[in-house]
């Protein structure tokens, strides 16, 4: 069989930092290129003019396409029409790029299954190319449709258009059920787990952990909890901060690190101040060395109300951190309560604080959770395993 020519379509690509879907696009593009695939990436052009920008990033050709400036509105959850117009403008550029570059790819791999994918999938089909939509989140479920989310008023036309996609990749059973509910045939759904670079996200020895705490200006003796993710309401980081306040009443050596940014950051910082947690909670913003923060910490806490398969949590598990998490989305597929993680109830503030204290006080339990967390990620999410599944899928589509 000829070389696999894969066109990856994503919102953002390095050096820009995106969400879970964009991060998966970055990691997978690099890994499948290392496996011999011919990989090209189309991503948004964030600054400057109407012309497209071409560059070579880590040996991968990246073409950045014009669109209405996404950077101004990408996290504005209330600006739905602006987000829609931004996606339409990017889709228009993408259609032209697909036609002009049609002889350079065989498979289009979308990272995301939203408006952009629906608007361009019929063009991919007309060009007689195969397509995969990488579905990662469950954020639209509460609005009545996992795929259309808050744009559910256009669900009928959207589902018709997006069904031109050949394969929908689901990272777990919750996403699979959401796709079926939205009208995607089960024969189009393939389960493949998220990819984590287990050579970067790995446990650190005690001496390395201490060095990292010095480097990152973290307390040397405290028990450090960590959260990583976008700071929006659905992540319920306010609940996490309140848990920390209660836990501090029983022990004073607790320190919470919050990585990430978002529209709720100011409110969360104000809440931390109101609860007199100024010296016990640290907001570090967006960082490029998440792995080092994880390796310097003692426990990962994830309080989200709605998730698919969160990369942040899998990365923490890869670093051997005990994880305390809500029971949402695909987490029920790979978290075994009391074995490789601990579930808590977001409606039970005091009970959740007690579980946090229990884990931090029980070294035997911590070691058990740490060992099994790392092991399940090594077995299911490492680059070798996940890339082999994608390459098999690519070959199946072309056969």
Q: What is the pLDDT of residue 142?
A: 43
Q: What residues form DSSP beta bridges with 281?
A: 256
Give the list of residues 6+ apart from residue 381 with CB closer than 8 angstroms, or none: 193, 194, 195, 196, 198, 314, 318
Residue 16 scores a pLDDT above 90: no
Read off the pLDDT band of 1 (50, 70, 90).
very low
Q: What is the mean pLDDT of the chain?
A: 89
Question: Taking the model in full, what pTM does it have?
Answer: 0.88
Give residue 294's pLDDT: 98
Banded pLDDT at 77 (limits 50, 70, 90): very low
Tens-place pLDDT, residues 114-135: 889 999 999 999 999 999 999 8
Find out if CATH 3.40.50.2000 is the number for domain 206-380: yes
Q: Does domain 5-195+382-398 have CATH number 3.20.20.80?
A: no
Neighbouring CB atoms inside 10 A of 86's CB total 23
Most confident range, picked from 8-17, 67-76, 316-325: 316-325
Q: Where in the chain is the domain with CATH 3.40.50.2000?
A: 5-195+382-398, 206-380
Q: What is the DSSP string of 85-149?
A: HHHHHHHHHHHHHHHHTGGG-SEEEEE--SHHHHHHHHHHHHTT-EEEEEE---TTGGGT-TTTG
The 10s digit of each residue's pLDDT in 229-245 is 989 998 999 999 999 99
Give the count of beta carbons closer than 10 Å to the beta carbon of residue 389.
Answer: 15
Average pLDDT of the segment spanning 261-266: 92
Tell me the mean pLDDT in the region 311-338.
93
| For the chain, percent of residues with pLDDT exceeding 70 | 89
Mean pLDDT within 144-150: 58
Residues near 302 by Cβ (< 8 Å), separated by ≥ 6?
A: 227, 229, 310, 312, 313, 316, 323, 324, 325, 326
Inform me whether the pLDDT recorded for 204 exceeds 60: yes
């Amino acid at each position: 069989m000829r070389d696999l020519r894969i066109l990856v379509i994503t919102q953002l690509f390095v050096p820009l930092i995106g969400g879970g879907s964009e991060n998966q696009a970055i990691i997978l593009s690099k890994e499948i290129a290392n496996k011999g695939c011919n990989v090209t990436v189309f991503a948004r052009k964030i600054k400057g003019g109407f012309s497209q920008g071409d560059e070579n990033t880590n040996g991968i050709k990246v073409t950045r396409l014009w669109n209405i400036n996404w950077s101004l509105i990408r996290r504005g959850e209330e600006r739905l029409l602006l987000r829609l117009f931004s996606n339409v403008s990017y889709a228009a550029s993408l259609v032209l790029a697909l036609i002009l570059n049609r002889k350079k790819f065989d498979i289009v791999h979308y990272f995301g299954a939203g408006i952009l994918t629906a608007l361009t999938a019929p063009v991919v089909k007309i060009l007689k190319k195969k397509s995969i939509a990488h579905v990662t989140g469950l954020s639209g479920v509460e609005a009545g449709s996992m795929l259309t989310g808050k744009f559910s008023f256009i669900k009928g036309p959207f589902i018709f258009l997006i069904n031109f996609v050949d394969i929908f990749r689901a990272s777990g059973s919750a996403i699979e059920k959401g796709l079926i509910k939205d009208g995607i045939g089960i024969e189009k759904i393939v389960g493949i787990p998220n990819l984590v670079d287990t050579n970067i996200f790995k446990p650190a020895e005690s001496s390395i952990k201490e060095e990292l705490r010095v480097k990152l200006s973290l307390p040397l003796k405290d028990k450090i909890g960590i959260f990583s993710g976008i700071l929006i309401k659905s992540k319920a980081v306010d609940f996490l901060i309140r848990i920390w306040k209660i836990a501090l009443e029983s022990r004073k050596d607790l320190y919470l690190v919050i990585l990430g940014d978002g529209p709720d950051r100011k409110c969360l910082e104000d809440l931390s101040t109101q609860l007199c947690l100024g010296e016990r909670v640290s907001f570090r913003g967006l960082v490029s060395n998440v792995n080092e923060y994880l390796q310097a910490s003692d426990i990962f806490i994830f309080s989200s109300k709605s998730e698919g398969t969160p990369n942040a949590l899998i990365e923490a598990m890869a670093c051997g951190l005990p994880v305390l998490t809500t029971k949402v989305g695909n987490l029920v597929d790979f978290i075994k309560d009391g074995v490789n993680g601990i579930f808590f109830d977001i409606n039970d503030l005091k009970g959740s604080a007690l579980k946090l204290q229990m884990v931090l006080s029980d070294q035997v339990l911590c070691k058990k959770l740490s060992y099994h967390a790392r092991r399940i990620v090594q077995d299911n999410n490492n680059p070798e395993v996940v890339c082999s599944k994608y390459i098999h899928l690519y070959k199946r589509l072309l056969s």
